[in-house]
Amino acid sequence: MLLAGDIGGTKTLLGLFERGLPRPRPIVTHSYATRQFSNFTELLDAFARDVHQPFALDAAALGVSGPVVDNAARLTNIDWDITATAITARFGATRVCLLNDLEALGHSIEALDASELTTLQEGVRTPRGNAGIIAAGTGLGEALLHRVDGRLVPIPSEGGHADFGARTERELELVRMLRDRYGRASVEHVVSGRGLLNLHRFTHRGGECAIVEGVPDEQAPAKISAAGMTGRCQGCVEALRMLVSAYGAEAGNLALRGLTLAGIYIGGGIAPKILPVLQSGLFLDAFRTKGEMADLVARVPVKVILHPDAGLLGAALYGQSLLD
């Protein structure tokens, strides 16, 4: 039996799987609000109680939203330490691997079917090419998938924390605000749930917004994006448009860095919720505006991942490989 996990700053998914083809077969999965637990061990204990049955693990693979070094990680957006030894101590599995969450998501790409994806740009897919994933949620994750011996191998990164590059006068103003607030401007400060909050602060400077009045920060991005999509608040409309444009520009940067002629995949919790805005042309306009490389990025297929638990699926697929 396999334990798979997708551990984020807002939501955590844990599941038990049996070996299967083309995908491991899910037995039971549970979703948790990450911040309701003070540490990872508490969450593991809750999962063991919720399963309501004894089980013996053969392997475990968990995607975590932070850098993984020597099979241990500290989450970026919540003060948690996670180690493979904690999983071994709790469940007895000896084959345990922690993955960066985008690395885990990358393992799902070749297992997703057409109904679990939607196309923003058809492009001209190169079957032997590399691919890339960019995923905005609570934070921003990025990964390149290099083609090795015919298969896509995800390479973890912390590219979401790279410097944000302003493209317009308006974005230069935004960078100054972010620099004053954080000391620097990273891509995640703009393209993420936290980034949408920053953009909302920027577009509402000097004015209040009833949309987020009294709303906790973790719930505010959903309120802002909903108001931006319906046009209820022009400041929210601008904030959402700025996020989508910056998202497209960074996805195009990733396509250039990895020469991702097999495709760019848009993951994370935000994209499916704002799909009409992604399809409006804002995203692709920014994706393609790459000067002399414009024709190249126009060839890159761009797809949005609709599978709600693709990160968990990728972790389970990798966990299954530990048994081979």
pLDDT tens track for 146-161 = 999 999 999 999 999 9
Number of neighbouring beta carbons within 10 Å of residue 167: 13
Maximal C-alpha separation, the chain: 59
pLDDT of residue 78: 87
How many angstroms separate the Cα of 129 from the Cα of each of 84, 151, 159, 258, 259? 33, 10, 21, 9, 8
pLDDT of residue 264: 98
Alpha helices in the chain (DSSP H): 40-51, 84-91, 101-106, 169-182, 193-203, 220-230, 234-258, 270-273, 275-278, 282-288, 294-298, 310-321
Residue 61 has pLDDT above 90, yes or no: yes
Amino acid at 260: T
pLDDT of residue 229: 97
pLDDT in tens, 175-206: 999 999 999 999 999 999 999 999 999 999 97
Q: Cα separation of 38 and 137, whole Å?
A: 21
> 252 with 289: CB under 8 angstroms?
yes
> 198 with 190: CB under 8 angstroms?
yes
pLDDT in tens, 62-76: 999 999 999 999 998
Residue 324 has pLDDT above 90, yes or no: no
Let me know if the fold of 2-107+309-321 is the same as that of 114-306.
no
Residue written as token pair 């070996």? 19
Residue 237 has pLDDT above 90, yes or no: yes
The H or E element containing residue 309 is none
Between strands 302-305 and 263-267, the pairing is parallel
Distance of CA 157 to the CA centre of its chain: 12
Closest CA to 134 of 302, 309, 14, 22: 302
Kindly state which CATH superfamily the domain 2-107+309-321 is placed in.
ATPase, nucleotide binding domain (3.30.420.40)
Domain 114-306 has CATH 3.40.367.20: yes
DSSP 263: E
Q: Cα separation of 201 and 198, whole Å?
A: 5
Domain locations along the chain:
2-107+309-321, 114-306
Sheet holding 151-156, edge to edge: 117-121, 302-305, 263-267, 131-136, 140-148, 151-156
> 260 with 132: CB under 8 angstroms?
yes
